[in-house]
Amino acid sequence: MKTYLLLLVCLLLAFGVQAQLPTYRHTVSVGFERVGLDGPDAIGNRYLVRYARHLRNDRIALMANLGYMSVLNRVDLPGAANYYVEGKRRQRVTTDLTAAFDFIRHPRHAFRLGAGPSLWYRQEELSNGIHYTLLSDGSVTNVRADWRPEKGFDFGFNVLIEYEYALTDHLLLSGKVKFVDLGDGGGQSSIYGGGIGYRLR
- Higher-confidence residue: 142 or 100? 100
> Helix, strand or coil for residue 105?
coil
Per-residue 3-state assignment (H helix, E strand, C coil) for 9-53: HHHHHHHHHHHHCCCCCEEEEEEEEEEECCCCCCEEEEEEEEEEE
Q: Strand 140-166 relative to strand 109-134: parallel, antiparallel, unpaired? A: antiparallel
Residues 6+ apart with CB under 8 A from 126: 87, 147, 148, 150
Q: Where are the beta strands (DSSP E) in 56-139?
A: 60-76, 84-102, 109-134
Which tens digit of pLDDT belongs to each residue from 8-62? 445 444 444 444 456 789 999 999 999 988 765 568 899 999 999 999 888 999 9
Are 180 and 156 in contact by the 8 Å Cβ rule? The answer is yes
Q: Structural domain boundaries of the chain?
A: 24-200
State the Cα–Cα distance between residues 6 and 10, nearest whole angstrom: 6
pLDDT score for 177: 97
User: What is the amino acid identity at position 22?
Assistant: P
Average pLDDT, the chain: 86
Which tens digit of pLDDT belongs to each residue from 101-139? 999 988 899 999 999 999 999 998 888 888 888 887 878
pLDDT score for 16: 42
Could you tell me which CATH number the domain at 24-200 has?
A: 2.40.160.20
